[in-house]
Structure 1
Amino acid sequence: MRQLAETGWVALDLANTWDEYLDSPERLPDVAALRRFCHELIADQVTGRPSEPDVPAQAPAVSDVPDGFETAEEVGEDDLVAVRAMRDRLRAVLAAEPRERARALASWVAELPVRATVEELDGVPELRLAPARDAGLAERFAVRAIRELLDLAAKGDWARVRLCAATPCRDAFVDRSRPGRRQFCSTRCANRAHAAASRARRTP
């Protein structure tokens, strides 16, 4: 079974819980699947599992998951509905061109219950976004995804965050290729797109 939290990055993994290649694209069909997603986020952080080659080498901490959420037993139907809606918003942001994406991100932040915190990174204080203490799971995931995207932007990777160009796939990925022109999320999608283009050229 394909892992739901493949990279440990909510901005990518949650966006990719909708997969058009599947007969049923919804990879969060029920509360059990959402609980599994939460469990995998926690497990990846605890085990330090390396991220995939196309994403940053170190996934962010899972501190945005509520205290005691490691068992994910508190997840309910309301959380599932809210997380799916949050995923739709996230995918819309990722699908936008970089300049429009920045505006969409700013608009989203203005609607979320966020607070500013100071975290220490390698001995240096850093201003960070954090969810309000009473925020729900979807809001916590939204704040974490936004924070991850801001981190990518700060590292110069804003324009390298993309959705796969292979129809029907629209998985999110970070282009780590040297020229920065990668269009596909995986070799699978690249091969399928190239095969489709080749068939189209041969069709009279």
Structure 2
Amino acid sequence: MRQYVDTGLVALDLANTWDEYLDDPERLPDPAALRRFCEEFGEPLGWTPGQRVGGDPGERAGKEPGELAGGEPGGQANFWESELVAVREMRGRLRGVLACEPAERTRALAGFAAGLSARAEVEDVDGVPVLRLVAPDGAGPVDRLAVRAVRELLDVAAAGDWVRLRLCAASPCRDAFIDRSRPGLRQFCSTRCANRAHAAASRARHRT
């Protein structure tokens, strides 16, 4: 049973691993949860002996061989602990992008993407060349997930759904979703949140 795949987009489903509606909002509580997230989205786990850990991509790239975690006892555990911290920090920045209004969101996404280590690659899609952003070879989970999130958001924009990308209006939920309804007026991420918001509005009306 899948725990994290909902929209099928890393950009949204990663952002939604912080859920204010829950008593404990953190849905990535430990490295095992991050590994599960990567597996559900088909992302390679990305750890090999000698894997660099710690800091942002530039920091990791600048580490000396003596600072590699994989050669030490518990290197894999250290790697996943470090990646979990980095993924949570990246998730916060991603949620900041999604929270912007569409016109501001473009600038916010540009700022988010500017800090990534990525390369452009031409892929064949049904016989048509398509330019895609991909993470460098050997990149860890935080880098691959961040690059994939940007790629997906660019695809969302290209499909004409940029203005339909929203955060749920049912406080305290702030889950991200794409409004696929024909009128484009959807405000809530789910029926659960819609029902909760309508019930709260009804109670408020009866109090006045």
Paired AA for residue 182 in structure 2: R
Q: Where do 1:105-144 residues align within 5 Å? A: 105-144=109-148
Deviation, structure 1 residue 15: 0.8
CA distance in 2, matches of 1:108, 1:13: 17
Q: Where do 1:1-204 residues align within 5 Å? A: 3-42=3-42, 62=43, 65=44, 76-204=80-208
Paired AA for residue 195 in structure 2: N
Corresponding position of 1:47: none
Change beyond 3 A, Cα 1:20–1:2: farther
TM-score (norm 1): 0.82
Structure 1: any 5+ residue segments left out of the alignment?
43-61
TM-score (norm 2): 0.81
CA distance in 2, matches of 1:37, 1:135: 16
Structure 2: any 5+ residue segments left out of the alignment?
49-75
Deviation, structure 1 residue 92: 0.6
Change beyond 3 A, Cα 1:40–1:2: closer
CA distance in 2, matches of 1:193, 1:164: 10
Cα RMSD over matched residues?
1.9
CA distance in 2, matches of 1:94, 1:40: 22
Deviation, structure 1 residue 67: 6.1
Q: Which has the higher contact order (CA 8 A, sep 6+)?
A: 1
